[in-house]
Amino acid sequence: MESNIGWLEKEDLILYKSVRGSHLFGLNTPDSDLDTFGLFYCPLKWLMGTGLEYRPIISDEGHDNYYDELTKFFKELGKSNPEALCYLFAPKDKVVKWDERLKPLWDIRDSLITKAAYSSFKGYAKSQISKMYGLSKAMNIEPDEVKERKSPLYFCWVPRPGNDGVWNLEKWLRENGLKQEHCGVCRLPNGIELYTLYYDWFADKDLKWEDYQRLNQNVPESEKVNTKEKFEGAKKTTYIKYRGLLDPTNPSTQLRLSSVPKSDATNPLCTFQYNVNAFTKHCQDYKKYWDWVEHRNQKRYENNLGHQWDSKNTMHAIRIMRMGIEAATGKGLILDRAVAGDRDELLKIKAHGITFEEVKALMIKTEAQMTEAFEHSNLPDEPDREKLESILQEIRASLYGISYNTISI
């Protein structure tokens, strides 16, 4: 079944719609996007089966505009989730659509602000703080490290001659004039990603006699070709056909293993260790970085260049904690930060108008104030979930034309 925002509008399933984000809190600037949030009710048949069709949320591709189904929204209200509560307290000029059947819920909105909101306020703030420091942010990935997607061989380490450090296997093969497609590897038992490497000397038509001699100087004379004429002759007829190190059709994190003849097994060309975790992280960083480059907000990126912190996340972290303080001290949920009195200060933070040290000190102070406010709050411990359940049943009965009070089991 089709289930997107356009479909919700077409089927007239939207009960509530308002702006969200910076515009909702009066913190928008000329370059701020206008995003929306809403509530919808699902078709009755979504509730009649096992839930295969049920969608708790419907959003656009970037999740900038999204709509919660009634059940999901009411569950969030049952935990005094601040994000859900915000829409009950949105100023009228921010509300695009409001269905009169939602009035019983709006009538009890003040009672839904409880001490249970503390964990969500704290969680949201910590999430923004994490983003503020750029933890896991693509913008902090070193561009030179993801300029191109590296081969697993870059993360395989081979000891250099004379114990003079290590080379990655990619460089080691290049320096020795060898090709990965003619290599065979075996995993060493009782080791962590340790391998021995062998080479199909005579399958490599470009291999030089001098390189063959140098790389086989420690191999017993009886186990190698000892003249250039025999070497060139063997290249025409003698192939082991190792599988190579990499499968060109499958960009896996794993190396390809080969069966090695007993005659070669005692004379590996080298031993190396493969840091598969580092390669996996590189692949993740590569994808994350270039996805971010493609979709990043250029103005926000330029605004944060040269700073240790993301100013927009910082602003919202402080806003969230201050809203928590206001809620805990009985002032309700104040969304408009001009009304709260800190709009100019928050916008100054967004513009990097204070130092990193001042930001950190403000974060610590505000978080401590929020914790103390909830510890001494006179708010009820949690919402009346039975009341919420009853209101949801009434709303659904009205929407579907059902008198649920007449239903008995």
Residue that is last in its domain, among 249, 279, 309: 279
Residue that is last in its domain, among 279, 297, 313: 279
For residue 232, name the pLDDT band (cuts at 50, 70, 90). Answer: confident
Are residues 166 and 104 located together in one domain of the fold?
no
Which of 70, 48, 71, 69 is closest to 58 using CA atoms?
69
User: At CA 346, angle to CA 345 and CA 350, rounded to 5?
Assistant: 120
pTM assigned to the model:
0.64
Within-domain flag for 1: yes
Question: Which residues partner with 270 through β-bridges?
Answer: 197
User: Which is more confidently placed, 199 or 137?
Assistant: 199
Q: What is the pLDDT of residues 363-405, one digit of tens each?
A: 889 999 999 999 999 999 999 999 999 999 999 999 999 876 6
Within-domain flag for 390: yes
Say yes or no to pLDDT of 271 above 70.
yes
Q: Please give the residue range of the domain that contains residue 226.
A: 152-279
User: Which is more confidently placed, 104 or 235?
Assistant: 104
CA distance 279 to 21: 37
Are residues 243 and 167 located together in one domain of the fold?
yes
Q: Going by DSSP bridges, is the β-strand pair 166-168/156-159 parallel, antiparallel, or unpaired?
A: antiparallel
Within-domain flag for 90: yes
Say yes or no to pLDDT of 303 above 80.
no
Are residues 156 and 273 located together in one domain of the fold?
yes
Exposure class string for 127-161: b at 16+ Cβ within 10 A, else e: ebbebbbbeebbeebeeeebeeebbbbbbbbbeee
Give the pLDDT mean for 45-72. Answer: 91
Element (H, E) at 304: helix 298-304
Which of 275, 290, 40, 266 is closest to 145 using CA atoms?
290
Residue that is last in its domain, among 279, 299, 325: 279
Say yes or no to pLDDT of 254 above 90.
no
Lowest pLDDT segment from 156-160, 233-237, 376-380 = 233-237
Within-domain flag for 303: no
Are residues 78 and 191 located together in one domain of the fold?
no
Q: What pLDDT score does 359 carry? A: 87
Share of the chain above pLDDT 70, in %: 90
Give the pLDDT mean for 146-174. Answer: 88
φ and ψ at 271, to 5 degrees?
A: -120, 140
Give the pLDDT mean for 4-17. Answer: 95
Are residues 203 and 271 located together in one domain of the fold?
yes
Q: What is the pLDDT of residues 307-334, one digit of tens each?
A: 667 788 889 889 999 999 999 999 999 9
User: Which is more confidently placed, 18 or 248?
Assistant: 18
Please state, rounded to an integer, the average pLDDT across all residues of the chain: 87
Are residues 171 and 273 located together in one domain of the fold?
yes
Q: What pLDDT score does 135 carry? A: 43
Question: Which residues partner with 272 through β-bridges?
Answer: 195
Say yes or no to pLDDT of 101 above 70.
yes
Are residues 20 and 72 located together in one domain of the fold?
yes
For residue 124, name the pLDDT band (cuts at 50, 70, 90). Answer: confident
Say yes or no to pLDDT of 77 above 70.
yes
Within-domain flag for 335: no
DSSP labels, 49-101: SSSSS--SEEE-TTSSSEEEEHHHHHHHHTTT-HHHHHHHS--GGGEEEE-GG
Residue 368 CB neighbours (<10 A): 11
CA distance 19 to 28: 11
For residue 136, name the pLDDT band (cuts at 50, 70, 90). Answer: very low
Specify the number of domains making up the chain: 2
Q: What pLDDT score does 139 carry? A: 63
Within-domain flag for 313: no
Within-domain flag for 122: no
Give the pLDDT mean for 346-351. Answer: 93
Asked if residue 15 lies in contact with residue 2, where contact means CB atoms within 8 angstroms, the answer is no
Asked if residue 324 lies in contact with residue 117, where contact means CB atoms within 8 angstroms, the answer is yes
CA distance 340 to 28: 15
Q: What pLDDT score does 409 carry? A: 46
For residue 2, name the pLDDT band (cuts at 50, 70, 90). Answer: low
Are residues 160 and 86 located together in one domain of the fold?
no
Within-domain flag for 288: no
User: Which is more confidently placed, 176 or 132?
Assistant: 176
